[in-house]
Amino acid sequence: MSEPQSPPTPPEVLATLEGPVVPRQMLAPQVLKLWFVSAGIWAAVVLIIGAVAEFFIWFNRSGPSPATIPLGVITAVAVVLLGGVPLLLVPLSYRKWSYAIRAKDVLIESGVIWRVRRSIPRLRVQHVDIKSGPLDRWMGVVQVDLHTAGSLGAVASIPGLAPAAAEELREALVGAGGEDTDGV
């Protein structure tokens, strides 16, 4: 496949593309802790609901009967899968998660079972949100959400950034829109 001759990029567009370039890297170690805590909370919620369900299965008015055994076992297995698997996936997905800010795009690789490699052209970024939930604030980090036109939610988010670094990133990405394009 031959490289096609693309029309020359106007100089003003090139000028807006200069910005900090961050090499490919993993997320901050706080994110691992953060994900463990939120997966743990989820597992606890599942466990409580499961325990209540088991209680009603075994200790109802008619008492335990052979017919309730499969139901009880299925519930127990479901609780272990629903609560335990996300907890087990946390270290794997942390290891598989990486991001890079390149000259012309933001590249994010993620996913344990389904691998996804996302590229968001810097010129197409419409707005950038910095947000921090209670757990983020406890860890002293923030999350950066990138929005482009035509998508309802954020197309990509980078968690676990220091507030100052997030601010810098936002400035770099939001400043990228040239007059050449209206972002759509």
Partner 1 sequence: MGSDVPPPDTQPPLPASPGPVVAYAPDHRRRLHLATVLVAVVLAARSLSWAIAIALLFRFSGRSGGFIEVAIAGVGSLQVAFAAVRYSTTRFAIEPATSTAGPALVIESGLIFKKRRAVPVARIQNINISRDIAHRLFGVAEIKIETAAGADAEANLSALSLADAEALKSELLAHQQPRAAVVALPEGVEPLSSSPPLSPAAQPNTTVYAASMRDLLIAGATRTKIGAVIGGVLGAFYFLEDALGSALNRLLPGSPVKVVLQRIFNSNGSELLETILGGAALVLLALLAGWLLSIGSSLVQHWKFTLERSPDGKLTRRFGLLTVHDLAFPRKRLQRLTITAPVIQRKLGLCRVEARTAGSYLDKESAGTAMLYPIARADVLEALCAHVVDGFSPSQADWQKVSPIAVRRWALRNTVVLSIFLGAAAAWQSWWLLAGWPLLVLFAWFLARAEYRVTRYAIQGELVLFRDGVITRTTRVIPRRRVQVSRVTASPIQRYLGLANLKLSTAAELMGSDAEIPNLPRCVAEALQDRLARGQ
Report the interface residues with partner 1, using CB under 8 A.
1-2, 4-7, 102, 104-105, 107, 111, 113-121, 123-124, 148-152, 155-156, 181-182, 184
Single out the residue of 105, 47, 97 nearest to residue 76, CA to CA.
Answer: 47
Nearer to partner 1, 117 or 137 (CB): 117
Q: How far is the CB of 163 from partner 1 (least distance, A)?
A: 26
Tokens of 155: 């197309």
Q: How far is the CB of 83 from partner 1 (least distance, A)?
A: 22
Tokens of 173: 């990405």
Nearer to partner 1, 29 or 121 (CB): 121
Nearer to partner 1, 152 or 164 (CB): 152
Nearer to partner 1, 111 or 163 (CB): 111
Q: How far is the CB of 144 from partner 1 (least distance, A)?
A: 15
Single out the residue of 141, 147, 136 nearest to residue 166, CA to CA.
Answer: 141
Q: How far is the CB of 120 from partner 1 (least distance, A)?
A: 5
Nearer to partner 1, 54 or 105 (CB): 105
Query: Burial level of 176, CB count in 10 A (0-12/13-18/19+)?
Result: buried
Query: Burial level of 118, CB count in 10 A (0-12/13-18/19+)?
Result: middle
Q: How far is the CB of 156 from partner 1 (least distance, A)?
A: 7
Query: Burial level of 35, CB count in 10 A (0-12/13-18/19+)?
Result: buried
The answer to whether 156 and 108 are in contact (CB under 8 A) is: yes
